[in-house]
Amino acid sequence: MNKIRCCILGATGLVGQQFVRLLSGHPYFEVSMLTASESSVGKTYEEATEWVVGGEMPANVRALEVSDSRPESVLDREVSLAFCALPASIASDIEVDLAKSGVHVFSNASAHRMDGHTPILIPDINPEHLRLVRKQPYGRGFIVTNSNCSTSGLVFGLRPLMSFGIRYVNVTTYQAVSGAGRRGVASMDILGNVIPFIAQEEEKIERESRKILGVLDVEDIRPAQFEIDASCARVPVMNGHLESVTVNLEQDVSIEDARAALMNYTEEPQRLRLPTAPPQPIVVVGESDRPQPARDLHLEPPHNGMAVVIGRLRKKQRRLSFFLLVNNTIRGAAGASVLNAEFAMAKGYLNTDSEVSECRS
Amino acid sequence: MNKIRCCILGATGLVGQQFVRLLSGHPYFEVSMLTASESSVGKTYEEATEWVVGGEMPANVRALEVSDSRPESVLDREVSLAFCALPASIASDIEVDLAKSGVHVFSNASAHRMDGHTPILIPDINPEHLRLVRKQPYGRGFIVTNSNCSTSGLVFGLRPLMSFGIRYVNVTTYQAVSGAGRRGVASMDILGNVIPFIAQEEEKIERESRKILGVLDVEDIRPAQFEIDASCARVPVMNGHLESVTVNLEQDVSIEDARAALMNYTEEPQRLRLPTAPPQPIVVVGESDRPQPARDLHLEPPHNGMAVVIGRLRKKQRRLSFFLLVNNTIRGAAGASVLNAEFAMAKGYLNTDSEVSECRS
Amino acid sequence: MNKIRCCILGATGLVGQQFVRLLSGHPYFEVSMLTASESSVGKTYEEATEWVVGGEMPANVRALEVSDSRPESVLDREVSLAFCALPASIASDIEVDLAKSGVHVFSNASAHRMDGHTPILIPDINPEHLRLVRKQPYGRGFIVTNSNCSTSGLVFGLRPLMSFGIRYVNVTTYQAVSGAGRRGVASMDILGNVIPFIAQEEEKIERESRKILGVLDVEDIRPAQFEIDASCARVPVMNGHLESVTVNLEQDVSIEDARAALMNYTEEPQRLRLPTAPPQPIVVVGESDRPQPARDLHLEPPHNGMAVVIGRLRKKQRRLSFFLLVNNTIRGAAGASVLNAEFAMAKGYLNTDSEVSECRS
Amino acid sequence: MNKIRCCILGATGLVGQQFVRLLSGHPYFEVSMLTASESSVGKTYEEATEWVVGGEMPANVRALEVSDSRPESVLDREVSLAFCALPASIASDIEVDLAKSGVHVFSNASAHRMDGHTPILIPDINPEHLRLVRKQPYGRGFIVTNSNCSTSGLVFGLRPLMSFGIRYVNVTTYQAVSGAGRRGVASMDILGNVIPFIAQEEEKIERESRKILGVLDVEDIRPAQFEIDASCARVPVMNGHLESVTVNLEQDVSIEDARAALMNYTEEPQRLRLPTAPPQPIVVVGESDRPQPARDLHLEPPHNGMAVVIGRLRKKQRRLSFFLLVNNTIRGAAGASVLNAEFAMAKGYLNTDSEVSECRS
């Protein structure tokens, strides 16, 4: 099989580097273009990038010349798939232009997440939402987004509990500095400190989680109906968003049944054995003081940072409480979009000869 | 007025040092005895103590010889008041023996907090609970406890909202390492990490907050009836417990009214102008990203670490959310007991010539 | 005495805020103008500034309107003295223009430090260097600089040892993030890390320390002749530069004599009892594991962050080793220039009616 | 080949865990016994150990019952080789008793390092020192030690420069908290702080480095003759000791020649391709701000934490300065002893049928 030529938009930043790392040696996709901002254009990727995501920079991208992110530049390079790690304000128009030109865009940017015809896809959670792209007015191309990084963890804690009826969710986060990007949090602000505010984060968690867990009707996504309060804070941790969650359920489920529902949860990516899918999307830990960001990110195979780790299940009345940990730059960003592209591929959505509307599924 | 001779039990630890610092030059109390564990006995306080609570060790205690904590030793020294910073397991019997011997014990230890006849006193919150000591079977002496450090912050966020009817409280904490004592948290466990567990902390918050906010009937305290879920975690912060709180109210109060109720709240310590009482027990901050432990502990006069700082008030339906910050070693520990002793003094409970049952109030 | 009207250039940054704090209620100087970059101009200082240097923003500056830093703007305001906290590249021309217009400039910027006619003044170290301003070609105005922050600590460790003959100095630093300014060090770079490089820092230490400790001949400063190697690193500490120093001496001085030379050292600022001068410029600590940045900055009176703290004196052959700690934003920046201005005042250099060349001293 | 049965003494601590990790699946050695202190004896290794060295606890040791560390217990288990991660005070007698009983002891403890007949072996540095064990009075058994963790890095920076003549060494360290063991550094002491003291560390660096780089005469090791000053400090870093080094050389070598000498350095472990030997014992990095503990530990293959990383080479006169980084728990502890055992094996010293004195080499 020929690999699909793809482009990474915003490749020098933190999420961009994770895309590069995760796509190195990927069985379906081949990175043939890297873009970045003005100051990097024309340099090799090695010159333009301070590599901070661990290990060595993959050999195959070192000498690639960094391009600008204009749609024309992308189209010149005959890539049919783009992974987007650009800031939302820049990404908004570029993604639409690329989709209109027939490119399949898998985006970490928040710009189009709440568009009515754009899915926030997590194939382990809402695989059926991919069908929404058929409604997009872009011709052969489309835009699929992944969720906000905190949201990407939360919905794994909620999805297996949906069958018990979720009335209300209260979530408080401990978010790593990497979630704000390479230079997003100044050290003077966070050393020995907690900052109880992240711009737009609480709003994103509240609206994205309801959309992701919503039902795809013929035409639209009907958001899940639970109430939700999110409180977000930054902590002096490098990687990994920890979240304290309480869920009010309709049914009086036992802790054992709740635990079983979480730990046995699987969906299409597991059945399809997609390359980036973790064998277990949710790992439930039993130790009394876990999960911890410094110890439980499960970066090694087979999880590779794609599992959400849950611990400390407790229950009072019909309220279930627990802590969950999500790898914000992998499951919450680059890894999420790579898995989305793999899933779209497996479902026939990347067939470049035909219209999206003809794909199976 | 002659100052009351007092003793600090467990004076070399972190909370003990705060007692020493806060009682230096105190208008009512004079430190005439300091106790510590075996290895310190017989040394001067200066030799026995690595001073870590800021500023210089007060000159008046440097040469005091450290005693053991046995009740006999304390009684030999003719102190009539004891501040207790001992671990709960050691404090339990010692406090009872001292009370039986006529000593007024103000304790930071958790040992007797849930005893039916022992108040968890916060005079800014539940001043009337002090009367409970009349029921204690100890003769002239008594035991008054202060609350757990996280609880001491939470109840300030709740007390002014009681008039709106509290149905449910959800609190998630970001707790400083100083809360675990001088060597309580190993650096390998917390550098760049969050530990989502603190032994017994969630239980203490849940039961102590209901007791503190309960109603004193003729004989007993009837705990407040709201439901509460607490989730506690340790963060790499030196001082200051931050708490994310959501409160379900019976009434549909506006954010403005809630803010006013919090910021205008005062109680007896303010009216009595007790030496350790902050002019405002609750400081409401307006900045979008505060309070922060590294910036908002209000250690300077006039608050001296005794104010609870609240910010980020938000509301959905009848659910009010906010963050609060409490200085865990001062308002949550030593300062709390010093204020309790001042309040007991002002109310006539330290009158050493007479029975407790005769005191006014 | 009428206070001298002064201006703070670059008042919203970290060093600028320290200037504001230190000059609040100052007996000689009155802040009548504050400047900052374009985005702050026209706002009040309170609106333009996120106050991060502790305590409350002084009441007298809150409502001051922030101006731009052009010399014309400064001259319009009839200030005769300027404290400069601007970046070197911007400060260079502005300082010259102001001096030419008769303003006395006390600068934390490095731009003019190595100019032949400009002193790097530390009145506790090289008070006689102030005379160098007479050679400046600026008319009534002049420029006096303070040293680089690490250098400001080092020279206190060296000056009292000069009488024993210094042959060689080896210094390795542990520098706080505040040394790089408000947003200078990204948290992703320094959390749990050490960065063994600070641009131009080693060069500054090497050349500035020799100039400061040099001899003022009739016309010029002849730099001190010792060899020196500096190695600089950033550590995850908020405030306080720690330095490990080894000095090769010509004489075989005992540790006791070296300690006495350090701890008894005083100079003109102490004799003149200048407002910002610490009673002891060097505090020698005896504990085996001090000084520590988190514990020994001596921020309280009487030192107010202006003392350099030295500990762990050791000796082998004629090599003396020790650790020293300097408060980088006070003794190493704003406090240094305030003390310089006080010293210039005491020496008659701020007499605004006459030429500098007429001043006494 | 049958694997050699070995024992890990002190297996539950941090260095003990590294031994377990490094010996999992080892081609020469098989862990058949694990010992720990009283409170762990009788538990399985999984029950007794909080695994903190990354990845999963190896499956083969989970169910092993933890034994006590008495020599009798060890001898009962027919192990012929022991890796020792015990504290020095406990290790001292146990190691001698085991050696006398014919066991080959490879020890991370400092107890016997300075014994005249005991090598501090680093086969990449002083392979010939292994012969010293023939002089030990223990019969078939022997004791081989690895160096102190900081020293293990320093000697790699010095060894390739020996041919240029070393006159004087000045080293200042930035040491990770893991160097003090699992609970060695309290978080209240190190968060946002630097502690300029580590008990006995400076002395160990000074005497061990001279012994390691000394010459083995017929009978004894003649220590290297350079002067050395070490200054040691703890920093809030999890793993990796960074060291700032200045070396006075006799010859006027260029930076290029010094760099080449460092980066091309190899010794017997590389020629013998020992399993734990890094292909390059010294990695020289070219970036201006490296090596950094959080980024350059080279934990992945092929270095596996066994390479010492050097950067920022600078020169003045005949003084060469640089920073080096060593993985303190691998190259500076467990990995060092594993490599020593591999080297002893390759050299015929572990031949259990014969006397040590008969081994080749």
The helix/strand/coil state of A207 is helix
Percent of chain A's residues with pLDDT above 70? 97
- C1-38 burial code (b ≥16 CB/10 A, e <16): eeebebbbbbbbbbbbbbbbbbbeebebbbbbbbbbbe
Q: Are strands C4-9 and C81-84 parallel, antiparallel or unpaired?
A: parallel
- Taking a contact as any Cβ pair under 8 Å apart, which residues of chain C between 77 and 116 contact chain A? none
For residues D144-165, one letter each, b for 16 or more C-beta atoms within 10 angstroms of the residue's C-beta and e for the rest, the string is bbbbbbbbbbbbbbbbbbeebe
Q: How far is D192 from chain A (nearest CA, A)?
A: 7
Instruction: Name the residue among D246, D289, D292 with its Cβ closest to that of C170.
Output: D246
Contacts of A52 in chain C (CB under 8 A): 188
Least confident of A65-79, B330-344, C263-277, D276-290: A65-79
On whether the CB atoms of residues D155 and D209 are closer than 8 A, the answer is yes
Kindly list the residues from chain D whose CB atom is less than 8 angstroms away from the CB atom of residue C196: 242, 244, 289-292, 311-312, 323
Segment A23-52 shows an average pLDDT of 96
Select from C276, C178, C182, C279 the least CA-distant residue to C234. Answer: C178
Answer whether C55 touches B (CB < 8 Å).
yes
DSSP string across D305-328: T--EEEEEEEEETTEEEEEEEE-T
Average pLDDT over residues A158-166: 97
Best residue in C178, C183, C187, C194 for a mutation probing chain A (most A CBs within 10 Å): C187
Rounded distance between C-alpha atoms, residue C26 and residue C33, angstroms? 15
| Cα distance between residue D146 and residue D212, in whole Å | 10
Give the span between the Cα atoms of C260 and C161, in whole angstroms. 10
Q: Of A16, A87, A48, which Cα lies nearest the Cα of A329?
A: A16
Q: Please give the structure tokens belonging to residue B119.
A: 């108040």
pLDDT digit string, tens, across residues B250-306: 999 999 999 999 999 999 999 999 999 999 999 999 999 999 999 999 988 999 999
| Interface check D50 vs B, CB under 8 A | no
Out of A191, A197, A290, name the one closest to residue B289 (CB). Answer: A197
Does A197 contact chain B (CB < 8 Å)? yes
What token pair was written down for C197? 């490089």
Q: Which residues in C lie closer than 8 A to residue A238 (C-beta atoms)?
A: 188, 191-192
D191 touches chain A (CB under 8 A): yes
- What gap in Å lies between CA A320 and CA A260, rounded to an integer? 14
The CA-to-CA distance between both ends of chain C, in Å, stands at 21
pLDDT of residue D353: 52
Q: Strand, helix or coil at D204?
A: helix
Q: Which of B151, B4, B10, B33 is nearest to B84 (CA)?
A: B10
Chain segment A301-318, per-residue pLDDT in tens: 999 999 999 999 999 999
Q: Tell me if A238 sits within 8 A of C191, measured CB to CB.
A: yes
Per-residue pLDDT, B358? 37
Q: Given an 8 Å threshold on Cβ–Cβ distance, is A300 in contact with D191?
A: no
Taking CB atoms and an 8 Å cutoff, what residues of chain C touch A177? 187-188, 191
Q: What is the pLDDT of residues B15-52, one digit of tens each?
A: 999 999 999 999 999 999 999 999 999 999 999 999 99
Outline where A120-231 has alpha helix (H): 149-158, 187-190, 201-212
Quote the CA–CA distance of D306 and D340 in Å, as a whole number: 12
Chain D residues with CB-CB distance to A55 below 8 A: 300
Query: Per the structure block, which two tokens stand in for C96?
Result: 């010259």
Model pLDDT, residue C2: 85
Would you list the DSSP string of C35-103?
E--GGGTTSBHHHH----SSSPPPHHHHTPBEEP--HHHHHHTT-SEEEE-S-HHHHHHHHHHHHHTT-
Taking 90 as the threshold, does the pLDDT of residue A90 lie above it? yes
Token pair listed for D35: 């010992």
Q: Which residues pair with B66 in a beta bridge?
A: B34
Contact A231 B172 (CB under 8 A): yes
How far is residue D11's CA from residue D61's CA, in Å, rounded to a whole number? 11
The H-or-E segment that residue B342 falls in is: helix B335-346
Q: Using the beta-carbon criterion (under 8 Å), do B185 and D188 form an inter-chain contact?
A: yes
* Beta-carbon count within 10 A of A110 CB: 20
pLDDT at D358: 37
Query: Does the structure show a pLDDT above 70 at A264?
Result: yes
C194 shares contact with chain B (CB less than 8 Å):
no
Phi/psi for B194 (5° steps) reads -130, 135
Most D CBs within 10 Å: which of B50, B175, B183, B188, as the mutation test of the D interface?
Answer: B188
Per-residue b or e along C168-205, where b marks 16 or more CB atoms closer than 10 Å to that residue's CB: bbbbbbbbbbbbbbbebbbbbbbbbbbbbbbeebbebb
Of B6, B7, B84, B149, the active-site residue reads B149
For C209-267, the pLDDT digits (tens) are 999 999 998 779 999 999 999 999 999 999 999 999 999 999 999 999 999 999 999 99
Closest in A55, A191, A238 to D300, CB measured: A55
Whether residue D189 lies within 8 A of chain B, CB to CB, comes out as yes
pLDDT at res. A338: 98
- Position A358 scores a pLDDT of 37
- Mean pLDDT for C66-82 is 92
- pLDDT computed for residue B353 by the predictor: 52
Q: What is the pLDDT of residues B89-123, one digit of tens each?
A: 999 999 999 999 999 999 999 999 999 999 999 99
Query: What local confidence, expressed as pLDDT, does residue A1 receive?
Result: 63
Distance CA(C161)–CA(C310), nearest Å, equals 13
* Chain B touched by D185 (CB under 8 Å): yes
Question: Cβ of D52 under 8 Å from any chain A Cβ?
Answer: yes
Q: Which chains touch C (3 or more CB pairs under 8 A)?
A: A, B, D
Please report the pLDDT score of residue B55 as a whole number.
85
Q: Does C270 touch chain D (CB under 8 A)?
A: no
The residues of D assigned a catalytic role are 149, 241
Cβ neighbours, 10 Å, residue D110? 20
Q: Tell whether D59 lies on the interface with C, counting CB pairs under 8 A.
A: no
pLDDT score, position B360: 38
pLDDT tens readout for residues C184-199: 999 999 999 999 999 9
Q: Any CB–CB contact under 8 A between C217 and chain B?
A: no
Q: Looking at beta carbons, which residues of chain C come within 8 Å of D244?
A: 172, 196, 231, 233
The DSSP letter of residue D8 is E
Output the tens digit of pLDDT for each of chain D's 361 residues: 689 999 999 999 999 999 999 999 999 999 999 999 999 999 999 999 999 998 889 999 999 999 999 999 998 888 999 999 999 999 999 999 999 999 999 999 999 999 999 999 999 999 999 999 999 999 999 999 999 999 999 999 999 999 999 999 999 999 999 999 999 999 999 999 999 999 999 999 999 999 999 999 877 999 999 999 999 999 999 999 999 999 999 999 999 999 999 999 999 999 999 999 999 999 999 999 999 999 999 988 999 999 999 999 999 999 999 999 999 999 999 999 999 999 999 999 997 554 443 343 3
Angle CA(B258)–CA(B264)–CA(B270) in degrees, nearest 5? 145
The confidence score (pLDDT) of residue C291 equals 97
Any chain B CB within 8 A of the CB of A225?
Answer: no
- Nearest CA to B307 out of B296, B319, B321 is that of B296
| Average pLDDT for A109-133 | 97
Amino acid of residue C83: F
For helices B335-346 and B14-23, angle between their N-to-C axes, nearest 10 degrees? 40
What percent of chain A has a predicted confidence (pLDDT) above 90?
91
What does the alpha-carbon distance between residue A169 and residue B316 come to, in Å, rounded to a whole number?
Answer: 13
Which are the catalytic amino acids of C?
A: 149, 241
Chain B neighbors of C238, CB-CB under 8 A: 294
> What pLDDT is recorded for position B355?
41
What was the pLDDT predicted at D1?
A: 64
Label residues D167-181 b or e (16+ Cβ within 10 Å = b): ebbbbbbbbbbbbbb
Q: How large is the average pLDDT for residues B196-218?
A: 96
Chains that touch A (3 or more CB pairs under 8 A): B, C, D
**Cα of C233 to nearest chain D Cα, Å:** 9
Average predicted confidence (pLDDT) for chain A: 95
Give the separation between CA D211 and CA B263, rounded to whole angstroms. 68
Q: Percent of chain B having pLDDT more than 70? A: 97
Distances from the Cα of C9 to the Cα of A18, A188, A286, C6, C71, angstroms:
42, 22, 58, 10, 10
Minimum mean pLDDT range among A207-221, A226-240, C144-158:
A207-221
DSSP state of B358: G
Rg of chain C taking only CA atoms, in angstroms? 20
pLDDT of residue B36: 97
Nearest by CB to A188, from C52, C188, C191: name it: C52
Does residue B188 have a pLDDT over 70?
yes
Q: Long-range CB contacts (< 8 A, 24+ apart) of A250-254?
A: A250/A164, A250/A165, A250/A166, A250/A167, A250/A318, A251/A164, A251/A165, A251/A318, A252/A318, A253/A161, A253/A164, A253/A318, A253/A320, A254/A315
Q: With 50 as the cut, is the pLDDT of residue A360 above it? A: no
Strand order in the sheet with B81-84: B66-67, B29-35, B4-9, B81-84, B104-107, B142-145
How many A-D residue pairs are in contact by the CB < 8 A criterion?
A: 9
Q: Given this model, what pLDDT does residue A354 score?
A: 42
Q: Which residues contact D67 (CB under 8 A, 6 or more apart)?
A: D33, D34, D35, D36, D41, D73, D74, D77
**CB–CB of B226/B210 below 8 Å?**
yes
Partners of residue D230 on adjacent β-strands:
D171
For residue D14, list chain B residues with Cβ-Cβ distance below 8 A.
188
Cα(C349)–Cα(C339) distance, integer angstroms: 13
Task: Give mean pLDDT, residues B334-342.
Answer: 98
Q: Would you state the structure tokens that stand for residue D147, as one six-digit string?
A: 């160096």
Q: Which spans in chain A are helix H?
A: 14-23, 45-48, 59-62, 71-76, 88-100, 149-158, 187-190, 201-212, 255-263, 268-271, 335-346
Cβ C30 vs Cβ C5: under 8 Å: yes
* pLDDT on residue A233: 98
Residue B52 at interface with chain C, using a CB cutoff of 8 Å? yes
Residue B44, classed as helix, strand or coil, is: strand
**pLDDT number for residue C76:** 86
Active-site residues of A, by number, are: 149, 241
Answer yes or no: is pLDDT of A359 > 70: no
Shortest distance between the Cα of B121 and any Cα of chain A, in A, equals 27
User: Beta-strand (E) ranges in B78-165?
Assistant: 81-84, 104-107, 142-145
pLDDT of residue A357: 39
Chain C residues 141-180 with a CB less than 8 Å from chain A: 177-178
Q: Tell me if chain A has a CB within 8 Å of the CB of C192.
A: yes
CB B79 within 8 Å of CB B50: no
